[in-house]
Amino acid sequence: MKSTINKIIASIKLAVNESITRSVDEGAFTIDHMPSIIIEVPRDTTHGEFSTNVAMQITRQAKKSPKLIGEVIIKNIDTNNSYIKSVELAGPGFINFHLNQNWLYEVLEDIYDLRGSYGSSDIGAGKKVNVEFISANPTGPMHMGNARGGAIGDGIASILQCAGYQVSREFYINDAGNQIEKFGQSLEARYLQLLGQNIEFPEDGYKGEDITEHMKNFIEEQHKEYIDEESDRRKKAFIEYALNLNLQKIKEDLNEYGIKYDVWFSESVLHCQNQVNAVIDELKNKGYAYEKEGAVWFKATEFGCEKDDVLVRNNGIPTYFAADIAYHLDKLRTREFDWSINVWGADHHGHVARLKGALEALGIEPDRLTIIIMQLVRLTRKGEISRMSKRSGKMVTLSDLIDEVGKDAARFFFNLRSPDSHLDFDLDLAMEQSNDNPVFYVQYAHARICSILRQLDVEVSFSQVTLTLLKEKEEILLIRKLADLPQEIIMAIEKLDPSKITKYALDLSSDFHSFYNACRVKLEDEELMKSRIILIQCTKQVIENCLGILGVSAPEIM
C-alpha cells in the first residue's frame, strides 16, 4: 500500500541523511545528533517539488551558517537512481529538490491499481480502536450538536479505517440515571394533563412537543388504564414506551444520515451487571475513594483535578460519572480496545480530566483515551441566535435538517471546519439556498467526469497509454494534487480531523474544473485522449475515496 509520494519523500530523506553523515565524516561540520529531517512541499512551485530546512535546523549545533551547511549537503548528496533532477540552495538556507516528472505518472498507476484503497496505509497496524460519538440522550430527538458530532465522529472512524486501524463505532445509550427519571416525570405530567387533571409540570422537565405527542399516542393505544396506577409503575411503563420509540427514531435518523454503528451500548446494562458498583469498590480498595457526608467521593485532586467528585450520591444512587468510569473500563480493560476515542461537545470538557484520572487510578494508561472536544453549534435564523435546548422545547432536529438540506450537504458542511472551531449554522442559508453549499462543487466534478466517460464509452488499459503526453499545466497540477491524498490522510489522522479531507476534496475539485476548462478529453488524437481518460478516471476514484470517508454520496448525474 506504499504510495509513490511516500516512497519519494522517504528516499529524499534517506539521501539527505546520508549526505549529512558523509559531510560530518569529512569534517565539514559537526553535529551532536541527527535532526529529524522534514521534507515539505514549497508553496511556490519555482522552489521545486520538495524542500527541506535541515541546513537551518542544524546551524546551532554545527555552528556554521545555513548556507555553508546547505552547500556541503548538496555537494555530498547522491542523486543517482532517484527522481531528483537537481538540487539547489535558496533563500535563507532551504535545500530545494527538483524532480523528473516521471514520478507523477507513477501516481496515476498507483491509483489505477489501488482504487478504493488508494490513500490508505498501515500505520494503524491493526490496533483496535473504539470510536464513540453522538451518544445522544434518548429522551428526545437529536439536535444540531448531535448532527455535528455524528459527522465528525463517523469521519474520524473512517479515516482510522483507512490507516489500517480496526475500528468499532459505538453509541452509548444513556438509558439510566437522573435524566431518565425526569423524562418519566415529564411523561407522567403530560399524561395526567391530557386526561384532564390539573397537574403542575416539573420545573426542569422536558417541555418538548414530543413528550405530549408520545402520551397522546399512548392514550390512544392503551386508553386510560394507567390513570389509577401507582406512580412508579406508571412512570416505568411510560419510560419504556417512549424510550423505545425514541431509540427507534434515533436509529432511523442515523440510518438516513449514513451512519452505521457496530455497537449500541446501554448504560443500564452496566448497572444490571453490577459493573458500576464493582468499579466503585475497586477505587475504594485502591484507596482512591472515600465517604463524606453520606456520599462516596473519588480523589480526583490526586490526579490534577481541582476538586474531588461524587461517585455515589447520599441517596445511594451512583452518578453518571461513576457509570462512565465503568463504561470506559469496560472498553479498555474488558473489551481490550487499544485506543478509545470519544467525540464530546464543549459543554462536557470539564469531565475529561476526572475521567482520565479515574482510569489512571484503575491502572489504565490515560493516553489510551482521547477525547475530541467539539465546539458547539450555534444556530442563527434571520441574524438571530436561536438557542437549542431539549428542555426549552423548540429546536431544530437532525431529521429536520436532513429533510431541508439533505444528508450530503449536512455531513459535508459539518466537516468544513475543524472540531475546534465554533460553528455558526445559518439556517436560512442552509435551508433556502442549499445550492450554495460547497458539497455540490465536489459532487459536480464527479458527475462531470462520469458524463464524459459515459459519452466516450472507450475501454482503456494502462498498457496502451502514453502518460507522458499529459504535460499541460492544468494536467500536471491535477496529478500533483492526486498524489497528495496519502499525505492528507496521514495529516487528518494526526489531528483526528476529517475537515482536512473536506478541504482536500474541494482543492482537488477545483483543480479538476480548471483542467476541464483548459483541456478537452474527447479528441481526434486518440493517444492523448486515452491518457486523459486515465487521468479523469483516477480523479473520479480519488473524489470517491474522499466522499466515502465523509459519508457523502458521489452522484453520476446531476
Partner RNA sequence: GCGCCUGUAGCUCAGUAGGAUAGAGCAACGGCCUUCUAAGCCGUGUGCCAAAGGUUCGAAUCCUUUCAGGCGCACCA
- The interface with RNA within residues 272-301 (CB under 7 A) comprises 292-295
- Residue of 6, 17, 57, 268 interacting with RNA (CB under 7 A): 57
Q: Of 229 and 507, which has the nearer Cβ to RNA?
A: 507
Does residue 494 touch RNA according to CB under 7 A? yes
Kind plus residue range of the DSSP H or E element containing 393: none
- Residue of 424, 525, 526, 527 interacting with RNA (CB under 7 A): 424
- Residue of 239, 283, 452, 470 interacting with RNA (CB under 7 A): 452
For residue 427, CA distances in Å to 32, 166, 209, 280, 396 come to 58, 37, 21, 45, 9
Smallest distance from the beta carbon of 65 to RNA, in angstroms?
9
Within positions 314 to 343, which residues make up the interface with RNA, using CB under 7 A? 314-315, 319-321
Total residues at the site for RNA (CB under 7 A)? 88
Smallest distance from the beta carbon of 62 to RNA, in angstroms?
11
Specify the stretch interacting with RNA by CB under 7 A; choose among 27-35, 155-163, 227-235, 502-510: 502-510
Specify the stretch interacting with RNA by CB under 7 A; choose among 79-87, 116-124, 422-430, 545-553: 422-430
Specify the stretch interacting with RNA by CB under 7 A; choose among 11-19, 141-149, 215-223, 445-453: 445-453
Does residue 127 touch RNA according to CB under 7 A? no
Q: Which amino acid is at 398?
A: L
Does residue 304 touch RNA according to CB under 7 A? no
Grid coordinates given for 465: 497509454
Within positions 384 to 413, which residues make up the interface with RNA, using CB under 7 A? none
CA dihedral (211, 216, 222, 227) positive or negative: positive
Does residue 435 touch RNA according to CB under 7 A? yes
Does residue 420 touch RNA according to CB under 7 A? yes
Residue 393, exposed/middle/buried by CB under 10 A (0-12, 13-18, 19+)? middle
Whether the CB-CB separation of 4 and 106 falls below 8 Å is answered with: yes
Backbone angles phi, psi at 363, to 5 degrees: 85, 15
d(CA 468, CA 109) in angstroms, rounded, equals 13
Smallest distance from the beta carbon of 492 to RNA, in angstroms?
10
* Cα 238 to chain centroid, rounded: 36
DSSP H helices in 58-208: 59-62, 66-76, 102-114, 144-162, 178-194
In this structure, the number of other CB atoms found within 10 A of the CB of residue 90 comes to 16
What residues are paired with 89 via a beta bridge? Answer: 95
Q: Of 94 and 265, which has the nearer Cβ to RNA?
A: 94
d(CA 450, CA 452) in angstroms, rounded, equals 5
In this structure, the number of other CB atoms found within 10 A of the CB of residue 399 comes to 18
Does residue 346 touch RNA according to CB under 7 A? yes
Within positions 199 to 258, which residues make up the interface with RNA, using CB under 7 A? none
Does residue 510 touch RNA according to CB under 7 A? yes
d(CA 79, CA 93) in angstroms, rounded, equals 19
Does residue 41 touch RNA according to CB under 7 A? yes
Specify the stretch interacting with RNA by CB under 7 A; choose among 49-57, 250-258, 282-290, 460-468: 49-57
For 140-170, b/e burial (b = at least 16 CB within 10 A) is bbbbbbbbbbbbbbbbbbbbbbbbbbebbbb
Does residue 522 touch RNA according to CB under 7 A? yes
Q: Of 299 and 417, which has the nearer Cβ to RNA?
A: 417
Does residue 178 touch RNA according to CB under 7 A? yes
Smallest distance from the beta carbon of 343 to RNA, in angstroms?
14
